[in-house]
Amino acid sequence: MKARPPKAPPVPAHPLYIPESDEVVWSGRFALQIVRFRYRRSDGTPSALLTWEMWRRGQGVVLLPYDPWSGRVALIEQFRLPALAAGEEPMMIECPAGLLEAGEDPAAAGRREVVEETGFAPDRIEKIGEFMLMQGGCDERMHFYCGRCPLPEPGLAGTRGLESEGEETRVLVLPLEQALAMLARGEIRNVTAALCLMWLQINAPRLTEEWTAR
């Protein structure tokens, strides 16, 4: 019998979950499961039998670099094949982000991703929250952070990324007001970047006061 891949553990037991079968049909970089189940409805009766495909991506982290002294943020652009498949512009504007290794601390992973994808190094971070991205078909849970980084003048701040992963990220430094205006115009289509920027729009005055205090 083929061993179950570590990235696709069985769905945990829960009073609302009535499993019928659980098969791992793909175990590449990300595992894919076919799960047949029922769930307990609000009146206690079982639902109809459902068959769901579930993509197992695990946990990830995203971190928005913010310069409280100049009011600037750092974003990245990179090519995204699924965006092109969805009819979107494939060069997506995003925040630095990545997946967690098994047992890795999310804050440490966020700092690592910022260094790899922008070259900047946050010296102080604040957690925004934890959110599911595609709960209708994927188990990915993202840890969101904002980090303090002294940033250069606005504009293209070079390219970064890990060559070993075929990654190239274009680093963009923008005034926060400009990034928010781009978001309002629909030019930032990435949900993690949108959530980070909207959080910062609310919290920037507080962070600026706290992070620039001597």
Point out the residues that are catalytic: 165
The 3-state DSSP class for residue 74 equals strand
In this structure, how many other beta carbons lie within 10 angstroms of the beta carbon of residue 63?
32
Classify 84 in phi/psi space as left (phi over 0), alpha (psi -120 to 50) or beta.
alpha
C-beta of residue 143 within 8 angstroms of C-beta of residue 126: no
Phi and psi at 48, nearest 5°, equal: -65, 160
Rounded to the nearest 10°, the torsion over CA 183, 177, 211, 76 is 50
Supply 119's token pair. 């070259």
**Backbone φ, ψ for residue 87 (5° rounding):** 85, 15
Whether 176 contacts 72, CB under 8 Å: yes
